[in-house]
């Protein structure tokens, strides 16, 4: 398990997270590697336990080529008597983000071939099948 002092926050990632969530690009101080830190604030222990359950489930995921890897998590109490859960995950460079790549291609009027789209769909279905096999449901995917 990690501690919040194991990381140096480099920048807030724009457009990320809900009202009580912030996502940062961080450096792991022990080896200098870059990761993403998702910090979720909970006003009470009950809410923290809900978030903790999510973190435990996510940390059980094994390596899959189409799912960001979760490396661990930590908890801490703030000065204002609330609690924070930090989830440490793989850093996906901007050039690898599908939404960013899509908008870059759209500006250049470049379109994916049918084979490229089929491969993307296969990857998405494979990732969803893997999540289902380990009992994890992604909240952003509608049935």
pLDDT of 15: 61
What is the pTM (predicted TM-score) of this model? 0.78
pLDDT of 34: 95
Task: State which H helix or E strand residue 56 sits in.
Answer: helix 45-59
pLDDT of 7: 93
Distance CA 58, CA 71 (A): 9
What are the backbone dihedrals phi and psi of residue 64, each rounded to the nearest 5 degrees, phi first? -135, 140
pLDDT of 94: 80
Mean pLDDT, each 10-residue run in order, the chain (143 residues): 88 72 92 92 78 77 86 84 87 84 92 94 92 80 69
Distance CA 143, CA 27 (A): 36
pLDDT of 93: 84
pLDDT of 47: 77
pLDDT of 96: 84
* 7, 27 contact by CB (below 8 A): yes
């Amino acid at each position: 398990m990690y501690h919040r002092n194991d990381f140096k926050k480099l920048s807030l990632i724009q457009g990320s997270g809900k009202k009580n969530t912030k996502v940062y690009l961080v450096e792991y101080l022990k080896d200098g590697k870059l990761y993403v830190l998702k910090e979720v604030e909970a006003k009470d222990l009950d809410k923290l336990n809900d978030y903790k359950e999510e973190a435990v489930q996510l940390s059980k995921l094994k390596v899959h080529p189409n799912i960001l890897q979760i490396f661990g998590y930590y908890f801490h109490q703030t000065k204002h008597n609330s609690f924070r859960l930090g989830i440490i995950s793989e850093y996906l460079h901007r050039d690898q983000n599908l939404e960013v790549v899509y908008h870059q291609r759209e500006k250049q009027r470049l379109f994916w071939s049918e084979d490229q789209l089929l491969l993307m769909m296969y990857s998405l279905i494979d990732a969803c099948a893997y999540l289902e096999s380990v009992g994890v449901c992604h909240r952003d995917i509608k049935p």
